[in-house]
Structure 1
């Protein structure tokens, strides 16, 4: 199995059980080892009292994308901690795209950068996620 095949299988298995990301309206895009892309169209129910996308919704998009990237090796992995900087507001109707890229992985720990942009390429947020592998896998792999 290639690393891309493993990533696609792991992310498919995770997506099948991920009710939260679906509830938000996120869509899973391309995945590869240590990398994932997700999108979300900002709807009225995503907006706060300032008529902009709620920061928690943007964080959720970045966090879900991070989760798919750090689980791409079929090793169950969770967030150890995250930090996010909001750079521009998301607005109703915007299509937000989050891209997570692995920067470092060793042992049970990893570091990922996640960039959220809108349809015009404007950076909405930057997040850094630190992951921690836990026991378990997302799907059964055949061993030779």
Structure 2
């Protein structure tokens, strides 16, 4: 991949993140991004936990969904999710630093499929997420 495509991917994700108030609330830190790939990190906060004192399932799901959105849009075509699923493997607690890594598995003109791994800071797998996106004809203007 050329530096130009990485620059464009970053510009697209910058534009998305600017208006993505939920990802901002999550406290997402962008670690790495390129076409078809995105790695994000965040810290689980107390207000993200449920009555079992573990992270609400929506927290890891939301982090994975943001990684999916950034990775799938990074090619330049606007993409929206049409189907997603998650398997929660290990509980997360307040203070846990988690990473989501989204990787493209398949891409056609209209549909793309991504796998997202959610891992604890130790590298322990916490969740597996799969996302399918519809690739619109609309290009990002960045």
The TM-score with structure 2 as length reference comes to 0.94
Structure 2 gap segments, 5+ residues each: none
SS in 2 for 1:134: strand
Distance 1:139 1:90 in 2: 38
SS in 2 for 1:48: coil
Runs (4+) off by over 4 Å? none
CA RMSD across the alignment: 1.2
Structure 1 gap segments, 5+ residues each: none
Q: Is the 8 A contact 1:76 1:133 kept in 2?
A: yes
Given the alignment, which residue of 84, 87, 97 partners 2:86?
84
Farther off after superposition, 63-72 or 11-20: 11-20
Q: CA deviation at 1:66?
A: 0.5
Higher strand share: 2
Which residue number in structure 2 is paired with residue 40 of structure 1? Answer: 42
Q: CA deviation at 1:62?
A: 0.4
The TM-score with structure 1 as length reference comes to 0.92
Distance 2:75 2:15 in 1: 12
SS in 1 for 2:77: coil
Q: Is the 8 A contact 1:52 1:90 kept in 2?
A: yes
Structure 1 residues 12 and 5: alpha-carbon distance in aligned structure 2, compared to 1, 3 A threshold: same
Distance 1:91 1:99 in 2: 19
Q: Deviations over 1:35-75 (max 9, x none)?
A: 00111101100111100011011100000011000000121
SS in 2 for 1:125: strand
Q: Is the 8 A contact 1:14 1:138 kept in 2?
A: no
> Residues 116-135 of structure 1 correspond to what in structure 2 (within 5 A)?
116-135=118-137
Q: Is the 8 A contact 1:13 1:139 kept in 2?
A: no
**Length, aligned pairs only:** 140
Q: Deviations over 1:80-131 (max 9, x none)?
A: 1001100000111100100000011001100000000011111110001001
Given the alignment, which residue of 3, 17, 20 partners 1:18?
20
